[in-house]
Structure formats: C-alpha cells, structure tokens
Amino acid sequence: MSLSSLNLSKILIDGTIFSFIASGYLLAVLWLNPRLFLQDYPKDVQEKVPPKSPTENRLATYFGSGFLLILILGPFLSTLSLKISSSTVLPFEVLFIHTFGVASLFNLVDWIILDWLLFCTIQPKFMIIPGTDNMAGYKDYFMHFRGFIIGSLISALGAIIIAAVVYFI
C-alpha cells in the first residue's frame, strides 16, 4: 500500500469547505424550524412536544434529502477532484483515506462545534424548540458523543462506497 500520494492539505481544505457548507445548511434549517430535525433531539424534548405536522414532515423530508445530498456530494466531489488532478493512478486506500478524512472533518465539527458548543453549551434560542427550555436533554453531551461515534462508522462505510465509485470511474 503506497500512501505517498495522500494529500493531507487537500483533505483539510476540502474538509473545511465541506464542513462550512454542511454546518451552514444545518444551522439554516434549524433557524427555519428546529422541529424539522426533531428526530435528532434528545428523547425528553421529543416526548414533550407534539409530533410533526404533515407540513413539517414534508419539509423535513425535503431538507433532510438536501442534507443527505450534501453529505454524499462533498466527499465525492473532493475525492473525484483528487483523482482527476493526480498524474498517477491512485490506489483505493488513498481514495478511501481521503474520502474518510473529508467526511470525518465535518463529523468532528458537527460534534464539537454544533453539538457541544452551540447545542449543549451556548444554546441559541433558534435551536430550542418552543416549550422545551431548560430541559435536561439539552445538556446531554454523551448523546452527541454517541452520535459522533455512529457518524464515524457511517463515514467509514460511506467512504468505502465513494472511494470504490471514484476508483472505477
């Protein structure tokens, strides 16, 4: 396995851009209506509020699909551009590590900045679902750590798939 063609600066640059775009999208949706991501809120918060309305369910599907598209396209386009700009055939391992690195950078930003700093610590008003102020779940740091671990596993699986697609293109 030759990792000499691994480009750490590209991982950091593309991962930062990807993190900015994905984080901005998430924050915009939360500002629009935090209930659209109700399924990602702590259980005590979910149990206190009524279920999503049909309109909220449609919007959640729409915005959730957009977010999923961002999560796939960011690492995919970064890895594809790495392959296109390379003067040699890149081994699968390099493509995988690159894809996983870009995805992991966002996962880290999501965990530390969005979840722990904003959601659990600062708690801006637009992230709090009306009627759930000061609920214990908003300070559940472990829930977000668990989400980070799950996100890491999903990133690894996604990186295998994306790296394979780019490898065979």
Give the pLDDT of residue 4.
72
The token duo for 145 is: 């750590």
- Tell whether 3 is covered by a domain: no
- Tell whether 143 is covered by a domain: yes
How far, in Å, CA of 151 to CA of 165, rounded?
Answer: 21
Query: What is the tally of structural domains in the chain?
Result: 1
How far, in Å, CA of 67 to CA of 37, rounded?
Answer: 11
Give the pLDDT of residue 3.
73
- Tell whether 34 is covered by a domain: yes
- Tell whether 118 is covered by a domain: yes
- Tell whether 38 is covered by a domain: yes
Alpha helices of 34-131 — where are they, by DSSP H? 43-48, 54-85, 92-109
How far, in Å, CA of 32 to CA of 29, rounded?
Answer: 5
How far, in Å, CA of 119 to CA of 126, rounded?
Answer: 10
DSSP for 22-62, please give it: HHHHHHHHHHH-GGGGGGGS-HHHHHHSPPPPHHHHHHHHH
Give the pLDDT of residue 2.
63
pLDDT digits (tens, 9 = 90+) for 119-141: 999 999 999 999 999 999 999 99
Distance of CA 7 to the CA centre of its chain: 22
- Tell whether 110 is covered by a domain: yes
- Tell whether 25 is covered by a domain: yes
Residues of the chain where predicted confidence (pLDDT) is lower than 70: 1-2
* Contacting residues for 6 by C-beta, under 8 A, at least 6 apart: 94, 97, 98
- Domain extent, residue 104, equals 8-168
